[in-house]
């Protein structure tokens, strides 16, 4: 399989009060080019799962395979967009995006071309030589997205990428990200606590229980892409939103 296979992942953390179970036998598959969103309450283990997929944490048990290969640590075939911008303030926009390409085997010309292309895709053309402090929060997060896109990963992991921006900017960036990943046929796994965001962006929505996370429902979003924000007020969208809300409420 060219996509992602997650099989019976479990994860606990040791604390001063004993063992804290965080993830309980999570299993799912994701096809190449598919956008899957994970929705659940805060603290339900969503980010921990993403960190395991990024190779930043080790599961206690279970297995992960990407394109048929075991996931056993960080790798260039995966890139992650974090909640916070994670930019280096002393570097310009272009330099921040290029930094993500540093470990690769590309020539300097190829790196520059990829970085500039990614910057254009997130609508930051003309800001290449600006430093992060001169940018708004939304623009800083666009830099973070461009840095991940420039790597051209097989799997793009997004940890609530719009949580730190205002509501209007959030909706605009949702549309931009949806258009970008649709054009590039990117495989995206995005974590959010926002049901509308999950349904707007995802081909499927995985509904997680409260901690320890268990997969409660795998919801297929049968709404054609590209999607406009008007889709949020349709009866079909609102019915799915209500269904996901009811599942989450019943499992708190």
What CATH number should be reported for the domain holding residue 173?
3.40.50.300
Q: What is the pLDDT of residue 34?
A: 93
Out of 108, 133, 152, a domain closes at 152
- Residue 236 makes CB contacts below 8 A (sequence gap 6+) with 222, 223
Shared-domain flag, residues 244 and 160? yes
pLDDT at residue 104 in the model: 64
Q: Which of 103, 123, 152 is the last residue of a domain?
A: 152
How many structural domains does the chain have?
A: 2
Residue found under tokens 């272009």: 94
- pLDDT score of 8: 96
Neighbours of 208 (CB within 10 A): 26
Assess whether 138 and 162 both reside in one domain: no
Boundary-marking domain end, from 117, 132, 152? 152
> Range of 97's domain?
87-152
Low-confidence ranges of the chain (pLDDT < 50): none
pLDDT digits (tens, 9 = 90+) for 82-141: 877 678 999 999 999 998 787 667 888 999 999 999 999 888 999 999 999 999 888 998
Euclidean distance between CA atoms 161 and 157, whole angstroms: 10
**Strand 61-66 with 204-208, pairing:** unpaired
* 82: in domain: no
- Tell me how far apart the alpha carbons of residues 97 and 118 are, in angstroms, rounded to a whole number: 8
Give the rounded distance of the alpha carbon of 36 from its chain centre: 9
What would you report as the CA-atom Rg of the chain, rounded to the nearest whole angstrom? 18
Same-domain check for residues 161 and 215: yes
- Return the pLDDT at 228: 86
- Residue 105 included in any domain: yes
pLDDT at residue number 9: 95
pTM of the model: 0.89
The answer to whether the beta carbons of residues 219 and 204 sit under 8 Å apart is yes
pLDDT of residue 85: 65
Whole-number pLDDT of residue 45: 86
> 138 with 232, same domain?
no
């Amino acid at each position: 399989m060219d996509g992602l296979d997650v099989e019976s992942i479990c994860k606990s953390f040791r604390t001063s009060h004993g063992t804290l179970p965080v993830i309980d036998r999570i299993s799912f598959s994701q096809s190449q080019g598919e956008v899957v969103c994970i929705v659940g309450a805060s603290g339900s283990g969503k980010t921990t799962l993403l960190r395991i997929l990024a190779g930043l944490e080790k599961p206690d048990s279970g297995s992960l395979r990407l394109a048929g290969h075991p996931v056993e640590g960080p790798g260039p075939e995966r890139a992650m967009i974090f909640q916070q911008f994670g930019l280096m303030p002393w570097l310009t926009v272009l330099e921040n995006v290029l930094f993500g390409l540093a470990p690769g085997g590309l020539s300097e010309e190829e790196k520059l071309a990829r970085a500039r292309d990614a910057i254009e895709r997130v609508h930051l053309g003309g800001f290449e030589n600006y430093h992060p402090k001169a940018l708004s929060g939304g623009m800083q997060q666009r830099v973070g997205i461009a840095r991940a896109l420039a790597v051209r990963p097989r799997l793009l992991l997004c940890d609530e990428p719009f949580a730190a921006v205002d509501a209007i900017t959030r909706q605009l960036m949702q549309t931009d990200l949806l258009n970008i990943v649709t054009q590039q046929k990117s495989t995206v796994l995005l974590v959010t606590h926002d049901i509308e965001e999950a349904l707007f962006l995802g081909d499927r929505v995985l509904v997680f229980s409260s901690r320890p996370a268990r997969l409660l429902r795998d919801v297929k979003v049968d709404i054609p892409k590209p999607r406009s924000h008007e889709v949020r007020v349709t009866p079909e969208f609102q019915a799915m939103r209500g269904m996901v809300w009811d599942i989450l409420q019943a499992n708190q």
